[in-house]
Chain A
Amino acid sequence: MATFNLNINGSQREVDVDPATPMLWVLRDHLNLVGTKYGCGISQCGSCTIHLNGVATRACMLPVSAVGNQEVTTIEGLSENGDHPVQQAWLEVDVPQCGYCQAGQIMSAAALLKNNPSPTDAEIEGAMNGNICRCGTYVRIKKAIKLAAASTKEA
């Protein structure tokens, strides 16, 4: 066990855990931030996507010891009032079915648009291919990302 001071959603949080513990379980079991989801544990499904210094990262294979003082953003910290352009576009297009993968999808999409405000279809597909949606909402996810890109440009 070891103590880690983490910068999560703009706050300093202290946890005492095995250094090998993936951030996914630190968030879920120790910090009660359960919006980040477990889907596969091997970086194959994207349900656990968070931002590490703004870069989309799978939390299920990221040991807490590797985080240091990098900025961690989870779905709970993406926006203060749930009004990030990607979240708003998700609501406008009514993307979710079961909803379980959607936090990860939104975190991947938000990271994409941060670096590339006007992605092409191929760029969207490339950035989102690591996120599985078992309900099959891919057509709507793509539509929502384009809407978010357009609304960000207008703003």
Chain B
Amino acid sequence: MTLVKTQIGRRAFIVNTGLASGGLVLGFSWLNACKPEQASKMAAMEMPKEWFEINAYLKIGDNGVATIYSPNPEFGQNVKTSMPMIVAEELDIDWDKVLVEQAPFNSQLFGRQFTGGSQGIRRGWEGLRMAGATARQMLKEAAAQAWQVPAAEITTAAGILKHEASGKTAGYGEMAAAAAKLPVPEEVVLKEVKDFAIVGHSKKNVDGNEIVTGKPMFGVDYKPEGTLIAMPVFPPAFGLKLKDFDASSVKAMPGIVDVFTIKTLEDDYVRNGFDTDTHTEPIIIVGKSTWEVMQAKKALRAEWQPFEAHTHTVAGWGGEQKVTVPAGLESSRDHLASMQAFDTKPARVARRDGDPEAAFKKAAKIVERSYSCPFLAHNCMEPMNFYAHVTDEKADLAGPLQAPELIEGTLAARLGLPIEKIDIHLTRMGGGFGRRAYSHHAVEAALASRQVKAPVLLMYSREDDMHFGIYRPAYHATYRAALDENNNLLAFHVKAGGIPETPLHANRFPAGAIDNYLAEAWDIPSNITIGAFRAPRSNFIAGAEQSFLDELAEEMGKDPIDFRLELLERATTNPVGENNDYEADRYAGVLKLVKEKSGWGAAGAGVSRGVAAYFCHNSYAAHVLDLKMENGRPKVDKVTCAIDCGIVVNPDAAANMAEGAIVDGVGNAMFGEMSFSDGQPDKSNFDNYRMIRMLEAPREIDVHFVQNEIAPTGMGEPPFPPVFGAYANALYKATGTRHYHQPFLSDKPRIIG
């Protein structure tokens, strides 16, 4: 038994918090003829006549049915199922008696409602368990008072309270009214992991039925009667701003209501790190229907001019700092030349162990390789959009975003409204991948609504979405290894940078495994906006590092898995340095598991295999990728994957996410590329930005999890970065050629590398 103090998120446990059981939490209900979410499941269930709120996370009906609120925004990682599973586990209720609803955005009640950084389950774990356990304890107390027996003698199972000695039993519904009036317990008992009946047992997506029947769930579907459509017109290139435009050229077009400019961020506004927005002065066209606004967008005549370098202030964890956005119209060809030039200059030393310079001097052999990757666009299937209805008194917003708390303050400042007058409803997101952590589109919608004094749904076209990206940066890394005459590894050197940030993680593997180690970083400023993209920085550096280790193993005459395990053995038993931010034995664990499950060393005829492993977002992942050449093209036949992310809450859903990460990785390794010419993105839609399709996807993906009782760590991102290395290493085996520059299968001449 684990006894814990109920201190985390305590506000959420205060009874009668004012979280109404009606309209406030239903969110979408009015859109769908007042049908609550999960209408189908509810129809099949006898609904309670009355609900009793136990805490902010759950309410229990008089017939024992529970509604559990999922606090985090959902973008396909299935937290809307897995977070309530954790609550239900500790509540000790039958999953069939649970209804799930999206919680409202209310950080005072729910704390961090940020879906990103693979932290949803990791950081929600303790609070969600406590929400369920607290409710169970209150139900026990209520039964104890009713039956006049000690609460400690009451047990629970699947929503039933039982007192063994007196033979009394009651369903949760019978005690819910009394429980809701009790004080919140100071301490609660948490279940032992071995006793889990829901966590660790796969449950279907709670929104599955709504998805396959096309119910309104997404931001683009949020359009109450009277909502106008707004679309932005951005400068055609980074480095340009608006000079002038001719509103009359479109104002008379059918269905057009208004054309105007907005300014999303005032020049002196102190931004937070997620207020990323290069195009702060778009033209907005508002009309009655999407098609009519799209026609006006095409017809609008506007002139653009280069902007000067300018500076704004960003408040970050390290205090306020000035950020300068350089002027200029940048091109990918110049980026390549700049990165290659920086690669030869002295850089910032991020870590030094031993005497790497001396070791390189006495080396019998030096292996040196350089790697690069281009910018990437997120390309969420649901383009950026947001609903807003702003009046002088309040702002009502709804839409897809990963981090409502990061835009709330910006909205308040920009609209001149107190935060409590701003209500943000969380809609299901049609993909996120980091892009929706940046919510400038919510500000654009709010300003558009204020201007036209009506509710608006602000929509990006696919071209807007791709052209105003907050892209994955372009990166470059050079790796060097010093070997002695017996091919022993003497020293290791990594020097990595990018536009505009370095991908280096100086304290990750193989730091800690090599006596003489040097890590250096550099960066080149740019006016192209960048931001988080599934496993930021790791999504490049993992592939580069794991490709280099593969080549090094071959040079040293070692099996690639054995070579990594030797390094990890050193890092486990006698680590170099103290700041190694990975657990070497868990890292080795996924490599051993993937070796076993893939039947490493016994690849079938015509199969070329590549291996890679990586640690990020507190979790470990390793892949063995099987590649076959078919009609002269590489085809991924199978990927075997091993992950250590601690306790797996919903195994089948976690496997789905790993499968998706692998497909995403294979696609970006093969084709992913955004390039620029004179500031203008070269690609604008899926006809020229190549995305992976079913024909190119792996035929089979086999996901395995390391079984342990460690509290859950990240899952959405960790399986993504190592795919690039496994793919490159398999491609080498298949073709005899090492691939250093992504994308590996570009049909066009390389922009970079």
Binding site for B on A (CB under 8 A): 1, 17-18, 20-22, 25, 28-30, 33-42, 44-45, 47, 74-76, 78, 82, 87, 90-91, 94, 96-103, 106, 121, 124-126, 128-142
Contacts and interface: CB of A to CB of B under 8 A. Distances in A.
A139 B214 contact: no
Nearest to B666: A136
A82 B685 CA distance: 32
Interface in B653-689: 653, 656-657, 659-664, 667, 685-687
B656 A100 contact: no
17 contacts: A35-B215, A37-B218, A39-B383, A40-B685, A41-B461, A42-B685, A44-B685, A76-B213, A82-B209, A87-B212, A98-B431, A99-B430, A131-B694, A135-B664, A136-B667, A137-B660, A139-B699
Given A96-B76, A134-B433, A136-B697, 19 more contacts: A18-B254, A21-B291, A25-B290, A29-B229, A37-B220, A37-B430, A40-B687, A42-B687, A76-B213, A91-B209, A94-B205, A97-B78, A97-B660, A99-B217, A101-B430, A131-B694, A135-B76, A139-B663, A139-B699
A98 B429 contact: yes
A133 B659 CA distance: 12
Contact of A39 (B289, B290, B381): B381
Contacts of A130: 693
Q: Which 3 A-B pairs have the closest CB atoms?
A: A35-B214, A136-B663, A100-B430
B208 interface: yes
Contacts of A74: 214
A82 B40 contact: yes
Contacts of B383: 38-39
A84 B103 CA distance: 31
B700 interface: yes
B693 A129 contact: yes
Contacts of A101: 381, 430
Given A42-B685, A102-B211, A132 B663 contact: no
Given A125-B695, A139-B698, A45 B220 contact: no
Contacts of A18: 254, 291-292
Contact of B686 (A82, A94, A103, A132): A132
Central interface residue in A1, A126, A137, by most chain B CB within 10 Å: A137
Contacts of B75: 98
A47 B381 contact: yes
B141 to A, nearest CB: 38
B327 interface: no
Contacts of B209: 82, 91
Interface string B265-299: 00000000000000000000000011110100000
Contact of B381 (A90, A132, A138): A132
B158 interface: no
B362 to A, nearest CB: 47
Contact of B653 (A36, A82, A94, A128): A94
B657 A100 contact: no
A35 B32 CA distance: 12
Contacts of A30: 289
Contacts of A35: 213-216
B139 to A, nearest CB: 31
A30 B429 CA distance: 23
Contact of A137 (B221, B289, B292, B656): B656
Contacts of B294: 41
Interface of B: 40, 75-78, 204-205, 207-209, 211-218, 220-221, 223, 229, 254, 289-292, 294, 379-383, 428-433, 461-462, 652-653, 656-657, 659-664, 667, 685-687, 691-695, 697-701
B664 to A, nearest CB: 5
Contacts of A134: 379-381, 431, 433, 664, 691
B123 to A, nearest CB: 21
Nearest to B209: A82
Given A29-B229, A98-B382, A140-B656, A34 B695 contact: no
Given A18-B254, A22-B291, A75 B214 contact: yes
B291 A136 contact: no
A100 B383 CA distance: 10
Nearest to A25: B291
A129 B694 contact: yes
User: Could you tell me the dominant secondary structure of chain A's interface residues?
Assistant: loop
Given A75-B213, A94-B656, A125-B694, A41 B661 contact: no
Nearest to A79: B213
A63 to B, nearest CB: 10
A96 B212 contact: yes
Contact of A103 (B77, B204, B214, B700): B214
A40 B77 CA distance: 23
Contacts of B433: 134
Contacts of A33: 214
Contacts of B667: 136
A39 B460 CA distance: 10
Given A35-B213, A100-B218, A42 B76 contact: no
Contacts of A40: 462, 685-687
Contacts of A42: 462, 685-687
Central interface residue in A29, A42, A141, by most chain B CB within 10 Å: A29
A142 B694 contact: yes
A135 B432 CA distance: 10
Contacts of B381: 37, 39, 45, 47, 98, 100-101, 132-135
Nearest to A106: B212
Nearest to A1: B254
B660 A135 contact: yes
B687 A44 contact: yes
A105 B667 CA distance: 19
Contacts of B220: 28, 34, 37-38
A124 B428 CA distance: 29
A136 B660 contact: yes
A96 B692 CA distance: 17
Contacts of A99: 76, 207, 211, 217, 428, 430
A5 B652 CA distance: 45
A105 to B, nearest CB: 9
A87 B213 contact: yes
A76 B214 contact: yes
Contacts of B211: 90, 96, 99, 102-103
Central interface residue in B208, B429, B667, B692, by most chain A CB within 10 Å: B208
B37 to A, nearest CB: 13
A96 B207 CA distance: 9
A87 B700 CA distance: 22
Contacts of A44: 685-687
Contacts of B379: 134
B205 A96 contact: yes
A113 to B, nearest CB: 15
A22 to B, nearest CB: 7
A102 B212 contact: yes
Central interface residue in A1, A102, A126, by most chain B CB within 10 Å: A102
A135 B431 contact: yes
B221 A34 contact: yes
A142 B698 CA distance: 11
A97 B77 contact: yes
A133 to B, nearest CB: 8
A41 B466 CA distance: 13
A18 to B, nearest CB: 7
Contacts of B462: 39-42
Central interface residue in B208, B218, B229, B694, by most chain A CB within 10 Å: B694
Contacts of A100: 218, 380-382, 430-431
B208 A94 contact: yes
A39 B664 CA distance: 18
Nearest to B697: A138
A128 B382 CA distance: 19
Given A98-B429, A100-B218, A132-B693, A137 B685 contact: no
B685 A97 contact: no
A141 B685 contact: no
A97 to B, nearest CB: 3
